[in-house]
Structure 1
Amino acid sequence: MSTVIVGGTVVTAEGTYRADVRVDSGVISAVGLDLAGPADTVIDAAGRHVLPGGIDVHTHLSMPSFGTETCDDFYTGHLAAAMGGTTSHVDFCIQPHGASLAAALDLWHAKAAERALIDYGFHVAVTDPRPEVIDEIATLPDLGVTSIKVFMAYRGTLQVDDAALFSCLERARDAGVLTLVHAENGDAIEHLMAGAIRRGETAPKYHALTRPPQLESEATGRAAAMAEVLGAPLYVVHVSCRGALDRVRDAQSRGAPVTAETCTHYLFFTADDLDRSGFEGAKFVCSPPLREVADQDALWAALRDGTLSVVSTDHCPFRYDTQKVLGEGNFTKIPNGVPGIEERMMVLHHAGVNGGRITLQQFVSLTATAPARRFGLGGVKGSVAVGSDADLVLWDLAREHTITAATNHGAMDYSLYEGMRVRGMPVMTLRRGEVIVDNGRLVAAPGSGQFMRRRTGG
């Protein structure tokens, strides 16, 4: 039996038009007018827009960090994602020191297997780049993984040196694997943090002051230069400032294979939020840190002109009441990361589309189509098109919602966007043609999400 979504307005990265969407065996089989037959299951989308389900390519679920673990797992994180219109994501699998990349993937598959509600893939973060580990990069596509991540920050835990970054870029290039980079100068940051602690500068605001934008810009330029020399595809994660944007834009202007994303929180908050009263600023501690209004303006402009092609979340959730407070009296011990997997599409639509900063088609591209194409899911995810998985969201442009932690659905005890009123939100979410959220009610079973084997070459 087919399912037909009737009466809606389809939105793709290329255009908007009135059409029905027919689904067979979880895949879109037709897009056109008057597709429903008497034996079909019909979903009435009158007055709604039919969008491809969101794809978040930067998340950290059940990730050990700062002596604790992110509080959303592959159930609560997926629940929040689905409620916000996201139907698939790519999570970061962190290589434990001494482990192989394959063993790290086994750990992350076990985290997801019986809990997943949406479809998921993995990037592998190379943190222990022994020669045999760098050789192992070539085997990842056979495991369905076509991207790695290298950290230029967090010395002593995640950071690798330039020689390892260069080797990873080279080996990934030869294997058709995309290299993602966290671009901050970790050695200089460690020096600045140690100096701040010696001077008794321990409040959350010093997190931003010891990670200045110049050190993000420098590292971005260094990574881009290596990628350009090698002809190796590079994707710069969580770009936060004008200087880093300039390095990305310069590389792109020379034809270097460099692409980049930003994250929702950089579009809405500034370093001033780290200086909120009491210890409230800890809620906003993430890396790179929040910047200034001028940087926000530059990021929005880069989303419009295509310098930045993806908006993700870097969803790295730590509760305030039991986890962020571990850093009281020493900002370097505040678990580093912020939530956003549920709010991403609503806040970006409200501020971006309603605010006249981006078009509805650009919104679809930034949240679904471009992530799919960049990360080996093009033609399968991210578009309302024949042959694509029927990952769809019925979006009500007029419905309003006030974001609060109390009405969110993950494991967090706060939202960065507390009290923000948005217009435009999902009212139904389908994953491979199955309704998984209907008007705020979860109707999918844990374990029904599937691992996405991604292709090489974008």
Structure 2
Amino acid sequence: MVNATGAVAADVLVEGEKIAALLTPGFAIAADRVVDAAGKYVIPGGIDAHTHMEMPFGGTFSADTFASGTTAAAWGGTTTIIDFAVQAKGTSLMSTLDKWHTKADGNCAVDYGFHMIVSDVNDTSLKEMESCADAGVNSFKMFMAYPGVFYATDGEILRAMQKAREIGGTVMMHAENGIAIDQLVAQALARGRTAPVEHGLTRPPELEGEATSRAITLAAVTGAPLYVVHLSAAQALDAVARARDTGQNVFAETCPQYLYLSLEDLAKPDFEGAKYVASPPLRPREHQAELWRGLRTNDLSVVSTDHCPFCFKDQKELGRGNFAKIPNGIPGVEHRVDLLHQGVVRGEISLERWVEISSTTPARMFGLHPRKGVIAPGADADVVVYDPRARQTISAATHHMAVDYSAYEGMELTGKVDTVLSRGRVVVDAEGFHGRIGHGRFLTRELNQYLV
């Protein structure tokens, strides 16, 4: 049994939806069902703190519904997702939250929560941040990218951070200098440079580093905690590390795509690179070693997926002839736990750190611990039996996400999910999927447990 605090030999007793006890192996006790985990790891269910199911983007929607996306999550050992409710300009935060509840309620195979995207900063929306927190949604995402859509000025970010500081919320930041990026995009298109690789070349890592530093400065001025989403570049990581070294409440996540994929994938010929378009973009390969180092030092605290799947046919193809029209996003909710296990196999991270960054820290960061993220009496029985010696090959032909390609097609992995319990119910085992759409419950969240 592996928790973030260590690995021990133990049997796990589940009663109803909860973990009832941890027992000495072989302790005689009557059970309705025994799951044999001999030779395997028993770990807390994964928590993917960054997904986008049914997300509107560029005139289309991400391909996974809450039903298909949470089913795929379960197959991959993730038993909780935190998705983003997306405020459109001119709408209220609470009506947005109601809309996302309508999308998700009764449609999820595993438990779920929400963050709130704040794209329209005004007196009303700032006041509504309090109502969101009262409703169990106390993390608020803002964008320094996408002018005209989600972009917030420094002044708007400052005001939202002040409100977050007041109510104990956490501001999540997409940190890229969108104003400068738009100029680079326009210049590239004017010169006839339209291929998918230009998406990466027009969003250089220096502009992620600059925006991250600016967000950290605004957080320091306001005293608000800051969580940098999908960090991809060494320059941004350096800024986060410096802030953390001073004791500032700054946290950051990265994603599997930035650990395994690179600008070379964006440059694949015949428009294949469109499959790898996401923001921030994939970076030159040398950034990967820095990100793994950040995971070891805890300057990177969490690995989420930013799961935002768009099919290659009819969706990614919208950007043929103009890379700026390619829907941004890479599918991955099903493979995060497995991909991170490769870090254990390769010696990049320890077994305990694997559990910490995939489950325990997101639970603590987003107010779900000790209900989630740990194998302990009283916790929800979200339990994964993981076979560390099994071999598998990732392929769109076998994954369960509602998308027609895999960004990791043909990648051979060591380790595989064997059995998954969600709140005490076996939802995945060797015989297949036994879950139920509607089993997943909405999770109201407490405050970030890492704030000092």
CA contact 2:364–2:448 (8 Å) conserved in 1: no
Greater than 3 Å deviation, 4+ residue runs = none
- 1:324-361 deviation digits (Å, cap 9, x = unpaired): 000000000000111110111111102x0001100110
Alignment correspondent of 1:15: 6
- 1:197-222 deviation digits (Å, cap 9, x = unpaired): 11111110110111001110000000
Question: Of 430, 436, 448, which aligns to 1:445?
Answer: 436
Q: CA deviation at 1:35?
A: 4.7
Read off the aligned partner of 2:116 and give its amino acid letter.
Answer: V
In structure 1, the gaps of 5 or more residues are 1-9
Q: Which SS does the other structure have where 2:282 is aligned?
A: coil
1: CA distance between counterparts of 2:31 and 2:391?
Answer: 35
CA contact 1:36–1:42 (8 Å) conserved in 2: no
Structure-to-structure mapping, 1:195-210, within 5 angstroms: 195-210=187-202
Structure-to-structure mapping, 1:117-266, within 5 angstroms: 117-266=109-258
Alignment correspondent of 2:346: 355
Q: CA deviation at 1:39?
A: 4.8
CA contact 1:141–1:456 (8 Å) conserved in 2: no
Q: CA deviation at 1:47?
A: 1.9
Instruction: Point out the more displaced range, 281-290 or 433-442.
Output: 433-442
Question: Of 420, 424, 435, which aligns to 1:433?
Answer: 424
2: CA distance between counterparts of 1:435 and 1:106?
Answer: 30
- 1:348-395 deviation digits (Å, cap 9, x = unpaired): 102x00011001100000100000000001111001111111101000
Question: Of 331, 338, 347, which aligns to 1:339?
Answer: 331
Q: CA deviation at 1:38?
A: 2.6
CA contact 1:63–1:70 (8 Å) conserved in 2: yes
1: CA distance between counterparts of 2:237 and 2:28?
Answer: 47
Question: Of 382, 394, 416, which aligns to 1:391?
Answer: 382
Q: Which SS does the other structure have where 1:451 is aligned?
A: coil
2: CA distance between counterparts of 1:427 and 1:86?
Answer: 12
Question: Of 76, 81, 86, which aligns to 1:84?
Answer: 76
Q: Please state if 1:454 is matched with 2:445.
A: yes
Q: Please state if 1:407 is matched with 2:398.
A: yes
CA contact 2:126–2:163 (8 Å) conserved in 1: yes
Read off the aligned partner of 1:392 and give its amino acid letter.
Answer: V
2: CA distance between counterparts of 1:110 and 1:264?
Answer: 30
Q: CA deviation at 1:416?
A: 0.8
1: CA distance between counterparts of 2:378 and 2:335?
Answer: 29
Alignment correspondent of 1:6: none
Read off the aligned partner of 1:138 and give its amino acid letter.
Answer: E
2: CA distance between counterparts of 1:314 and 1:73?
Answer: 15
CA contact 1:85–1:345 (8 Å) conserved in 2: yes
Q: Kindly tell me: are residues 200 and 110 of structure 1, through their superposed partners in 2, closer, same or farther at Cα, counting changes over 3 Å?
A: same
Read off the aligned partner of 2:8 and give its amino acid letter.
Answer: Y
The count of aligned residue pairs is 448
Q: Please state if 1:302 is matched with 2:294.
A: yes
Q: Please state if 1:311 is matched with 2:303.
A: yes
Q: CA deviation at 1:146?
A: 1.5
Q: Which SS does the other structure have where 1:436 is aligned?
A: strand
1: CA distance between counterparts of 2:262 and 2:252?
Answer: 20
2: CA distance between counterparts of 1:163 and 1:93?
Answer: 23
Q: Kindly tell me: are residues 216 and 139 of structure 1, through their superposed partners in 2, closer, same or farther at Cα, counting changes over 3 Å?
A: same
Read off the aligned partner of 1:338 and give its amino acid letter.
Answer: I
Alignment correspondent of 2:318: 326
1: CA distance between counterparts of 2:316 and 2:35?
Answer: 43
2: CA distance between counterparts of 1:57 and 1:35?
Answer: 36
Read off the aligned partner of 2:422 and give its amino acid letter.
Answer: R
Q: Please state if 1:418 is matched with 2:425.
A: no
1: CA distance between counterparts of 2:169 and 2:27?
Answer: 40
Read off the aligned partner of 2:81 and give its amino acid letter.
Answer: H
Identity of aligned residues (%): 49
2: CA distance between counterparts of 1:273 and 1:440?
Answer: 35
Read off the aligned partner of 2:219 and give its amino acid letter.
Answer: A
2: CA distance between counterparts of 1:173 and 1:255?
Answer: 16
- 1:72-116 deviation digits (Å, cap 9, x = unpaired): 011111111100100001001101222111110111111111210
2: CA distance between counterparts of 1:85 and 1:349?
Answer: 12
In structure 2, the gaps of 5 or more residues are none
Question: Of 69, 81, 86, which aligns to 1:94?
Answer: 86
Alignment correspondent of 2:263: 271
Alignment correspondent of 1:31: 22
Instruction: Point out the more displaced range, 225-234 or 257-266.
Output: 225-234
Q: CA deviation at 1:25?
A: 2.5
Q: CA deviation at 1:131?
A: 1.4
Q: Which SS does the other structure have where 2:34 is aligned?
A: strand
1: CA distance between counterparts of 2:133 and 2:152?
Answer: 22
Q: Kindly tell me: are residues 258 and 364 of structure 1, through their superposed partners in 2, closer, same or farther at Cα, counting changes over 3 Å?
A: same
- Aligned-CA RMSD value: 1.0
Q: CA deviation at 1:40?
A: 3.9
Q: Which SS does the other structure have where 1:188 is aligned?
A: helix
